[in-house]
Structure 1
């Protein structure tokens, strides 16, 4: 099959992307067989793809690089330059192995993080009871920030959490758009990076003692394949690449609460402390909820996708949200059905809310094990440990906004112990 026709500049779809958000690619790829489409975004030639074959192209081997594939403000608010996501080949695999050790293969690290999250949640509960009315989205982000800072080996006192939680949440909140708040988020990130650089230097010099195996100690002590430590500036970026995604799990927790509200039979199932179906419920939340809309890449060599020849240097977008909502890959994709029995450990080219492929070898997010564990613990806390009322509020999820969530932030009233 020949290549896709090159689009003209007047076919640019940037305004449509900004208007339609998560639905921009699904609306165009769901009606195409195979799901591949060439257009222009920001006047740049791009090939958009979805589905298992596209996932295999993006996440197998080194055919696709992340360098040069993400707009500057989005890159700097999220992974940033010189991070593991910007590496390829052996350099990427070597540094990625550090993240896999911390987030996947170490037998107790995720359990430790979840315990710290539970402790932080329960410590805050009395204040929530006194207040009587809280935004779950904001409460979850602050609680996750405390757990993440403590787990990483960083200061997690009230002052540190109140200072750093909105910075970490703001990186995600402002990554999908450019506005005055985006500039503020970038400046706040830079200040946090400078504080983390000082923490890295203090750990390396021995002036700051942290527990053995603490992530900040792992990153401070990391050596690349040539035996060189990371510059303090890069080490700080990688610490942020642990902290920021943990705080972002608050978005999934809010969606989980929304599903419990809309599907009360599931809430009743977990209210007696049963864990039956808990992981399946959690994984279906990840499939169903809008989180990452798509991911970008650049071909490092000529390649083929769905029979079309693509040239080295071609900019690509892989539709994560659309793949998870395509009836070609999921029966009744717009229905919330935990009985699908999905898992981050299988269905690696179809179930791709945070990317596809094999975690250790590809650019797939290494934090899915932790994400699932944190959402599951939050569901347990929301159903078994506490009760609350859900007042009338705006619970619609605007899919034209990236990132998104229930418009109200999911307000809880009359928060109380069960």
Structure 2
């Protein structure tokens, strides 16, 4: 992708935002605010969001998930049937259509997925099944902390249906492990905390909480190696404090703030019982369908990555291969886009892949501005054509971590690819 043909929204300053992380997402040109709790994604931000979705989808497919698509616009009937129409009233966008029917914009889709499968899942042999989608959700929440708490957001929400509670336990653990892999692939520091089910209902739930300097939760987490234990003020063990012994590994608890990025629930029959959903079992009787629900916030993942890995120069996206979420994999930075530099830069652009490579070919930018913009975007590699190339014929490769190596033009693509 050529810089001269690309609409980037980067800026040197972003004043008036709640904290440095929110300001950095704006300075890096990932988002623009449309109002309280409303954000639009730029082409660059959308690339990052789609890379995150790709990783999440891969992990859900790997645990046997089947992708579906449910309407965000819901009739009030299915929510009244579950009993959540009134309980969700303060946070749900509701209205009447031209025919006087009550509708809502779905904040979650437990009701929707049971409506989808009702009458189709009839036998225990049809189960278990894990269904998921990556779609927009809507909640009339109090906007806070940029992308962390918004009124419209992207969620990967998944739902499992089972003939036995043992099967639910197995799938719950399966998705829980998938969530841990997602966080680990992204290099996130996180804890897993027991949580209240509140308006969701059910018997048990856990939150995946990313550590943050500026979060929305008060968090105590274990500092032990590979231990993910944590508690928040909403956890059953909320009385634990910094310095206390971790009940899981014996390490010491630390205190700080966190951002909820994922939540897993054992819902039991909370949503299937109101619909009378049962399946036939081999002995000729019927058994109630039990259910699990699993959500992970895409924008919250993005915010947590910027929070934990960003620095004074800009974004710093971790990961490689499937876990790479940077908007561009490589930036080609010539001292000047002219003559031999231009010819070599074009060759490198082609060799490294035009779609994922940002070629700084805009004559209006200085070399310093090109370096700064590449770092602000968090591009993992800068391929520099400068005085060193002029003198030796070797290209300078600088990683976002600041390490430098030199290579021939022909070897660049294999190193940064």
TM-score range, shorter chain: under 0.3
Query: TM (normalized to structure 2)?
Result: 0.25
**Which structure ranks higher in relative contact order (CA pairs < 8 Å, sequence separation ≥ 6)?**
1
Q: What TM-score, normalized by structure 1, do the two folds share? A: 0.25
Comparing both structures, which one devotes a greater share of its residues to helix?
A: 1
Rg (Cα) greater in structure: 2
More strand by share: 2
